[in-house]
Structure 1
Amino acid sequence: MIPAIQIQNNAITLGKYRIAACPRALPSGRFAAQVSVASGQGSASTARIMSFIDDFATHADAANYSLAQGLDWVHRTTPTH
């Protein structure tokens, strides 16, 4: 079964994971890519924040890269049946 993907404001819900792009502006005017991969709810929730070395010319480019990396992480760590 393939889980449904929902997209909202630079965030994607894939199965039990919420993947959110968190780009940040750099002093140079470029953007750093960061992604949050969260699962669970309330006090049982966990989140992993990943930052990347590459920088990007636009906020959108950094967000797209972040989401792609987050999706890749989920696909690599989710067992297939």
Structure 2
Amino acid sequence: MISAIQPQHTSITLGKYRIAACPRALPSGRFAAQVSVASGQGSASTARIMCFIDEFATHDDAAQYALAQGMDWVKDVQPTH
């Protein structure tokens, strides 16, 4: 039996960005990785959602991959001093 209850979404803060993994279950029983990278607050907030093609055996594997991709994206867009 497959449980319909999934662990809480995994999120971290990196600088001004909030990175949240949002894995979703696929009909095959595997999981797709998705990540939200947000900044700002209220009406001044923006978010970028990235979905990935790879499929993962577990919710946790998809979440870890999504977080890593989100952190890489933030590191690429942050200015270097």
The answer, yes or no, to whether TM exceeds 0.5 is yes
Give the Cα separation in 2 of the matches to 1:62 and 1:30: 9
Q: Which has the larger share of strand?
A: 1
Q: Which runs of 5+ in 2 are unaligned?
A: 1-7
Give the Cα separation in 1 of the matches to 2:9 and 2:43: 24
% identical aligned pairs: 82
Secondary structure of 1:75's aligned partner: helix
Partner of 2:17: 17
Partner of 1:57: 57
Give the Cα separation in 2 of the matches to 1:44 and 1:79: 21
Judging changes above 3 Å, is the alpha-carbon distance between structure 1 residues 38 and 26 closer, same or farther for their aligned structure 2 residues?
Answer: same
Shift of 1:76: 0.4
- RMSD over aligned Cα atoms: 1.2
Give the Cα separation in 2 of the matches to 1:40 and 1:14: 13
Quick check: 2:9–2:22 contact (8 Å CA) kept in 1? no
Give the Cα separation in 2 of the matches to 1:18 and 1:64: 15
**What are the superposed Cα offsets for residues 7-57 of structure 1, whole Å, 9 maximum, x if unpaired?**
x95100011000000000000000000000000000000000000000000
Q: Which runs of 5+ in 1 are unaligned?
A: 1-7
Partner of 1:40: 40
Shift of 1:61: 0.1
Give the Cα separation in 1 of the matches to 2:44 and 2:14: 18
Task: Give the structure-2-normalised TM-score.
Answer: 0.89
Give the Cα separation in 2 of the matches to 1:10 and 1:48: 16
